[in-house]
């Protein structure tokens, strides 16, 4: 799609790295232009007007000029910087994970409005969520949906039979659930409760999903299933997932050592 020389767009900053002395190279996710890369000139100078407005994970209104290789951010105004995220190491790390997923799963210049919405809604939700992990699971399952990999949770992908309320199997390669007859040996076991949670997340709004309360075991199972599916689709690990694991390990250690 062709964009005019100067264009205006909302954007969420997915990635930001240093370019030369004081410029920032940004990876942006936009509602109608998909992912774009742009330069914020002088953003690292203390007196820059762009500076904090192009910080990682802020949602801004931007004016961009089309450049030869990279577009140039000429004006930027923050719409939401998700302030409650910024003082909480766990929440901000969850948000970084979402940004990495979007970056890894998308190509440049491919519009995906529902995915933009999902990212924006999830960042807002992360600001107040009781359970950050739940936001991540919700995001993961809907991310797959918006990318065309919606996991099948209603009928067996082996024999086509509607799934009964029984423990089943999940197969990343098939893209969903296998029944107790088709699954053994081919897929990882999936408890009935985990299947119910996945289905519930898939059909709910964030507001409804936020009411879920999962035991640590169930939460770990659902996480394992979705991460396995994402890893299969991506054919590699999501780097910030390792950091989330590390944070969780340390917070468990701390609570154990203080109690």
Partner 1 sequence: MDFESLPTAQPVARLIEEFHRLPGIGPKSAQRLTYYLLRAPEEQARALAQAILAVKDKIVLCSQCQNITDADPCLICRHPERDRTQICVVEEPLDILALERTGGYKGLYHVLHGVISPMDGVGPEDLKIRELLERLKDGEVQEVILATNPNLEGEATAMYLQNLLKPLGLKVTRLARGLPFGSDLEYADEVTLTRALEGRQEA
- What is the contact surface with partner 1 in residues (CB under 8 A)? 15, 19-21, 46-47, 49, 51-53, 55-58, 78, 81, 83, 86-89, 92-93, 96-97, 99-100, 103, 239-240, 242-244, 246, 250, 254, 257
Burial class (CB in 10 A: 0-12, 13-18, 19+), 233: middle
Phi, psi at residue 173, to the nearest 5°?
A: -65, -35
CB of 160 to Zn ion, least distance (A): 7
Based on the shown chain and the rule CB under 5 A, indicate whether residue 167 belongs to the binding site for Zn ion. Answer: no
The one of partner 1, Zn ion, none whose footprint includes residue 182, by CB under 5 to 8 A per kind, is Zn ion
Helix (H) or strand (E) holding 77: strand 71-80
Chain length of the chain: 259
Which lies closer to partner 1 via its Cβ, residue 111 or residue 237? Answer: 237
Contact 35, 110 (CB under 8 A): yes
Place of tokens 């991460």: 227
Q: Is 174 helix (H, G, I), strand (E, B) or coil?
A: coil
Instruction: Please choose which of partner 1, Zn ion, none residue 57 contacts, taking the beta carbon within 5 to 8 angstroms, the exact cut-off set by kind.
Output: partner 1
Interacting span for Zn ion (CB under 5 A) from 3-11, 102-110, 149-157, 169-177: 149-157
Q: Does 182 bind Zn ion (CB under 5 A)?
A: yes
Q: Are 40 and 54 in contact (CB under 8 A)?
A: yes
Min separation Cβ 141 and Zn ion, Å: 22
Judged by CB under 5 A, the number of residues near Zn ion is: 5
């Amino acid at each position: 799609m062709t964009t005019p020389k100067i264009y205006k767009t909302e954007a969420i900053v997915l990635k930001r790295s240093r370019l030369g002395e004081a410029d920032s190279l940004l990876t942006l996710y936009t509602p109608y232009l998909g992912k774009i890369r742009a330069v914020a000139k002088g953003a690292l100078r203390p007196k820059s007007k762009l500076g904090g407005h192009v910080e990682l994970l802020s949602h801004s209104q931007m004016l961009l000029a089309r450049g030869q290789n990279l577009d140039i951010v000429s004006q930027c105004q923050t719409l939401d910087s998700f302030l409650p995220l910024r003082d909480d190491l766990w929440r901000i790390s969850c948000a970084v994970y979402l940004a990495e997923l979007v970056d890894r799963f998308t190509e440049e210049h491919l519009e995906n409005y529902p995915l933009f919405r999902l990212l924006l809604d999830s960042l807002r939700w992360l600001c107040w969520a009781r359970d950050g992990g739940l936001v991540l699971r919700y995001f993961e399952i809907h991310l797959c949906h918006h990318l065309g990999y919606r996991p099948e949770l209603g009928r067996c992908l082996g024999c086509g039979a509607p799934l009964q309320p029984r423990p089943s199997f999940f197969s990343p390669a098939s893209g969903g659930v296998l029944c107790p007859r088709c699954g053994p040996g081919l897929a990882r076991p999936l408890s009935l409760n985990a299947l119910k949670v996945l289905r519930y997340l898939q059909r709910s709004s964030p507001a409804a999903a936020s009411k879920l309360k999962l035991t640590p075991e169930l939460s770990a199972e659902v996480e394992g299933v979705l991460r396995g599916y994402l890893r299969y689709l991506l054919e590699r690990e999501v780097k910030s997932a390792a950091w989330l694991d590390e944070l969780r390990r340390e917070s468990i250690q701390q609570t154990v050592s203080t109690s």
